[in-house]
Amino acid sequence: MTKRGDSKNRTEEGRRILLGHIKGKGLRWTKQRDAVLAAFLKANAHLSAEELYGLARKCCPDVGFATVYRCMNLFVEAGIAKERRFNDERVRYEPNVMAEHHDHLICLKCGVISEFEDERIEKLQELIASAKGFKVKHHRMELYGLCNKCDDS
Amino acid sequence: MTKRGDSKNRTEEGRRILLGHIKGKGLRWTKQRDAVLAAFLKANAHLSAEELYGLARKCCPDVGFATVYRCMNLFVEAGIAKERRFNDERVRYEPNVMAEHHDHLICLKCGVISEFEDERIEKLQELIASAKGFKVKHHRMELYGLCNKCDDS
DNA sequence: CTTACTGCAAAATCTTTGCATACAC
DNA sequence: GTGTATGCAAAGATTTTGCAGTAAG
């Protein structure tokens, strides 16, 4: 069992949080939202809107592109998704359920995205920022390079 | 005098490098390229294509938008400019002449972009990456927060 | 029944490209 | 002269929005 919890737990927790957000705001639960949510949480990856559109349509063919975007914006608002943009490409969405803060390693060849967390980095950032009179709210740290597999070949 | 050299030196060096690149490839030196280059190097900031367009037109009114983009792509190719995209906004260009590697602090309120360099960060990155079997090629580290001025108000 | 949600297509935004003309070399 | 560079407008790519119909509560 990973730090993040298994896929089943995450999916249940994600649905619970989203339902709370929806009820609290007088919004509605629809089969499209369910399809996009399921695709999003099951994958546990950094998917683009296009990829989510493809996945969601597998179980609910009448999902439109706009709905995927509207869903993802809703999920971000509800706190269960985070937007990421690596390598200046399109936005990708990352599940934010039962997840700790982390940064990313991106393989330039195969595109695999790996996550890491390092307390020393967090502390150094505070140090550097305060030396410049900045108060850090959030940060972004991405390491681009070659993963084990791609470096060999 | 800063680490980066003063604006005059940087401009001369940038022009020298670009001219070398242009001659080497059989390209041509035009007044538009000169105008965009001058605007870009004089500002020494993180400007968008739109901002560069505005500046370049001041001394050369017949510069088009497409030319600004074409120029900036050429400058990146020649190695005198770097593309940056903060906060998922549009691309901004940063002079890369007589400049050391550095990372950025971005104020969320006033948008000011400050640069910093820290050897400890670089070393930690290598450490973290190699623990994951990654070989780092480049990285991106951005701290978002409030600068001195904006935190007070 | 009320009004939020949807799909579609059109718009917005940023960047690149095609084309005929202008101009370095 | 030859071929690169330019401006313009049109096309691309990604994301958002307007609208009339659909459906959740």
Residue of B nearest to A103 (CA): B141
d(CA B64, CA B107): 31
Instruction: With a cut of 60, say whether residue B28 has pLDDT above it.
Output: yes
User: Given an 8 Å threshold on Cβ–Cβ distance, is A145 in contact with B138?
Assistant: yes
Protein residues with Cβ atoms closer than 7 angstroms to any atom of nucleic acid strand D: A 28-31, 48-50, 65-66, 69-70, 73, 90-91; B 22, 26-28, 30, 32-33, 62-67, 70-71
Determine contact, residues A113/A143, Cβ cutoff 8 Å.
Answer: no
The architecture CATH gives domain B103-151? 2-Layer Sandwich (3.30)
The architecture CATH gives domain B7-95? Orthogonal Bundle (1.10)
Protein CA A139 to sugar C1' D19 (Å):
40
The per-residue pLDDT for A4 is 58
Instruction: With a cut of 80, say whether residue B1 has pLDDT above it.
Output: no
Domain boundaries, chain B: 7-95, 103-151
Dihedral sign of CA atoms A9, A10, A11, A17 in order: positive
Element (H, E) at B123: helix B119-131
Protein CA A52 to sugar C1' C3 (Å):
28
The per-residue pLDDT for B2 is 46
Q: Are strands B92-95 and B81-84 parallel, antiparallel or unpaired?
A: antiparallel
Dihedral sign of CA atoms A31, A62, A67, A10 in order: positive
What is the DSSP-derived secondary structure letter of residue A97? S
The per-residue pLDDT for B4 is 57
The encoded tokens of residue B118 equal 């820290």
Q: Encode pLDDT of B107-139 as tens digits.
A: 998 989 999 999 999 999 999 999 999 999 999
The per-residue pLDDT for B82 is 96
d(CA B72, CA B95): 11
Protein residues with Cβ atoms closer than 7 angstroms to any atom of nucleic acid strand C: A 22, 26-28, 30, 32-33, 62-67, 70-71; B 22, 28-31, 48-50, 65-66, 69-70, 73, 90-91
Element (H, E) at A124: helix A119-131
Dihedral sign of CA atoms B96, B99, B101, B106 in order: negative
Which residues on chain B are in Cβ contact (under 8 Å) with A141?
A: 139-142
Q: How far is A89 from chain B (nearest CA, A)?
A: 10
Could you tell me the CA-to-CA distances from B58 to B46, B55, B62 in Å, in that order?
A: 18, 5, 9
Residues of chain A short of pLDDT 70, as ranges, are 1-5
Element (H, E) at B14: helix B7-24
What is the DSSP-derived secondary structure letter of residue B90? S
User: Given an 8 Å threshold on Cβ–Cβ distance, is B136 in contact with A116?
Assistant: no
Q: What percent of chain B has pLDDT over 90?
A: 83
The per-residue pLDDT for A1 is 42
Query: Which has the higher per-residue pLDDT, B73 or B6?
Result: B73
Q: What is the pTM of this model?
A: 0.89
Query: Which has the higher per-residue pLDDT, A147 or B1?
Result: A147
Q: How far is B51 from chain A (nearest CA, A)?
A: 20
Residue B110 at interface with chain A, using a CB cutoff of 8 Å: no
Cα distance from N-terminal residue to C-terminal residue, chain B: 32
User: Given an 8 Å threshold on Cβ–Cβ distance, is B134 in contact with A143?
Assistant: yes
Residue A23 CB coordination number (10 Å): 11
